[in-house]
């Protein structure tokens, strides 16, 4: 389905909500010669409309990480916004789907207007399940759920999370982030680590999950999860970075009247 012949007037802004199995993508951000979510979407937009649109996403998910509710936006002259969903899904690969397309005000920015981001990290405890192995991290050991829940409390609030980043870009001057909630729960044979924050540093969710995982295995004292947020981090071993496949961006949340929260946005997610 092509939109290249549809009526065009003024440029308008379109918001897309997309989902993807990140296994075979090299993350969100476009990279020359690599299969990425952003690059695949941009090419699909070009094919159906003839427009070389600038596509901006709310979160730069890691290579191999997944999303159920990634949000992005672009400007277009195509009038029929509702047609984007069908047109793009007609040509997108099966591991990437557009869930919704809608008109938004010109002031809307998928990254800078986001109120917070909700990620889930899944750990399968027990026998490897071939139907879930692409979406969970696996361990054969039983984890101490109570200890993980106690440790998670240290991660809530506004702190300096430099010890929890996988790689700090030289351009990043401020490593203080605000975590609205961090919870750990058991769901049959899985442990779910749910993290809601305004923004994240690169690899931060996976290292936070790694710290809680080590606590669950009895390899790290509970208090060290909090020590890593203070000056004591200089004398504390950094947590393991868990595999990206267990991480999923569940939802980007916006207020009723989205406004620019540029100070809360991070280009390192």
Tokens linked to 167: 């790689």
Please give the distance of CA 255 from its chain centroid, rounded to a whole number: 18
pLDDT band at 267 (very low <50, low <70, confident <90, very high): very low
Per the residue annotation, which of 24, 52, 62, 95 is the catalytic one? Answer: 62
Q: What percent of the chain has pLDDT over 90?
A: 81
Cβ atoms 252, 69 nearer than 8 A: yes
> What is the per-residue pLDDT for 258?
60
Compute the average pLDDT of residues 188-205.
96
Compute the average pLDDT of residues 49-66.
96
**Predicted structure pTM score:** 0.91
> What is the per-residue pLDDT for 168?
72
Tell me the per-residue pLDDT of 230-260, one tens digit each, with 9 for 90 and over: 987 788 899 999 999 999 999 999 987 566 6
Residue found by looking up tokens 């920015």 in the block: 109
Q: Is a pLDDT exceeding 80 seen at residue 264? A: no
Tokens linked to 172: 């990043």
Query: How, if at all, do strands 116-125 and 8-20 pair?
Result: unpaired
Mean pLDDT estimate for the chain: 92
Tokens linked to 133: 């192995």
> What is the per-residue pLDDT for 196?
98
- Protein fold of 9-104: Alpha-Beta Plaits (3.30.70)
> What is the per-residue pLDDT for 82?
80
Tokens linked to 194: 């749910």
Q: Is a pLDDT exceeding 70 seen at residue 157? A: yes
Among the listed ranges 25-39, 142-156, 166-180, which one has the minimum average pLDDT value? 166-180
Among the listed ranges 7-11, 87-91, 104-108, 257-261, which one has the minimum average pLDDT value? 257-261
For the chain, what are the domain ranges? Answer: 9-104, 116-253
pLDDT band at 262 (very low <50, low <70, confident <90, very high): low
pLDDT band at 172 (very low <50, low <70, confident <90, very high): confident
Residue found by looking up tokens 């009247």 in the block: 257
Compute the average pLDDT of residues 186-197.
98
Among the listed ranges 48-52, 86-90, 234-238, 248-252, which one has the minimum average pLDDT value? 234-238
- Protein fold of 116-253: Alpha-Beta Plaits (3.30.70)
Tell me if residue 62 is catalytic: yes
Give me the sign of the Cα torsion angle 221, 227, 229, 233: negative
Q: Is a pLDDT exceeding 50 seen at residue 9? A: yes
Asked if domains 9-104 and 116-253 share a fold, the reply is yes
> What is the per-residue pLDDT for 252?
98
């Amino acid at each position: 389905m092509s939109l290249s012949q549809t009526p065009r007037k003024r440029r308008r802004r379109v918001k897309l909500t997309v989902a993807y199995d990140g296994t075979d993508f090299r993350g969100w951000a476009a990279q020359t010669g690599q299969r990425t979510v952003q690059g695949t979407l941009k090419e699909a937009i070009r094919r159906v409309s003839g427009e070389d649109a600038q596509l901006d996403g709310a979160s730069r998910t890691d290579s191999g990480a997944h999303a159920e509710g990634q949000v992005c936006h672009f400007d277009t002259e195509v009038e029929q916004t509702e047609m984007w969903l069908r047109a793009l899904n007609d040509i997108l690969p099966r591991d990437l789907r557009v869930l919704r397309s809608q008109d938004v005000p010109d002031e809307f920015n998928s990254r800078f207007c986001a109120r917070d981001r909700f990620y889930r990290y899944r750990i399968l405890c027990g026998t490897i399940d071939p139907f879930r192995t692409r979406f969970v991290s696996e361990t054969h050991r039983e984890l101490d759920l109570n200890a993980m829940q106690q440790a998670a409390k240290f991660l809530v609030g506004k702190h300096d999370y430099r010890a929890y980043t996988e790689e700090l870009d030289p351009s990043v001057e401020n490593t203080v982030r605000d975590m609205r909630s961090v919870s750990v729960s058991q769901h049959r044979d899985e442990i779910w680590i749910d993290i809601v924050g305004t923004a994240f540093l690169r690899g931060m969710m996976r290292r936070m999950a790694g710290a809680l995982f080590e606590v669950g295995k009895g390899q790290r004292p509970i208090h060290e999860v909090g020590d890593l947020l203070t000056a004591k981090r200089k004398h504390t071993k950094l947590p393991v970075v868990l595999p990206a496949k267990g991480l999923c961006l569940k939802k980007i949340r916006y207020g009723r009247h989205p406004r620019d929260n540029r100070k809360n946005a991070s280009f390192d997610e």
